[in-house]
Amino acid sequence: MGAITSYLIQMAFPALAGALLWAVSRPRRKRRLALRGQRAGSARESALLLCFMFTAGLLALTLTPAGFWTSVLQGQRPELPQAFQGGINLIPFLRSWELLCFYVRHDLWEAVLINFPGNILMFAPIGLFAALLSDKPRWWKGTLWAFALSLFIETFQLFVSRGTDVDDLILNALGGLLGHGLFLLLRRADPGLVRRCGKV
């Protein structure tokens, strides 16, 4: 099983918790919109459901120690390392360049995809949902949301002994920007869908 497929499987179960949170919060959202004379159609609620599920899966994958969900899925007790045991890199691009050279030298191309394009693509849905669900979509909103979420994740990872890297912040923010680009493409391809995802 490839690493990417493994990550998707690990995100699947926590995504169900995101769906549950969406369902529990739906009556409150409906009441708030009703007070403003608005409502959310099925397209918007579907987009919100996907947003809740993806975010829950992403957080579960990144806020737990390495190998946590693999152990859980295999029926084993996961090991919980001591806090502040992971590396910290605050120099942009230095560690990434070293890793890239190492991966290329040893033909670890899947690791290259996961650590570089993967860190961008993983946060593209954040930028897409930020634009799709916003009353006034702006490129900086999705980028800021992705950066803020990444900053929270990178800070929290100090406590689960995972590597904290400023390059991840940069790549994740680029993912938010890419997500807004995907929104622009979607709006051009299917403007009706984008309108249905708004409040009415």
Burial 34-43 (b: 16+ CB within 10 A, else e): eeeeeebeeb
pLDDT (tens digit per residue) in 154-170: 999 988 878 899 999 99
pLDDT for position 169: 96
pLDDT in tens, 28-55: 999 999 999 999 999 999 999 999 999 9
Owning domain of residue 99:
3-196
How far apart, in Å, are the Cα atoms of 59 and each of 30, 55, 187? 26, 6, 28
Q: Give the pTM.
A: 0.91
Q: Does position 1 have pLDDT exceeding 60, yes or no?
A: no
Are the CB atoms for 69 and 61 separated by under 8 Å?
Answer: yes
Indicate whether 67 pLDDT > 90.
Answer: no
The pLDDT score that the predictor gives to residue 76 is: 82
When divided into structural domains, the chain yields a total of 1
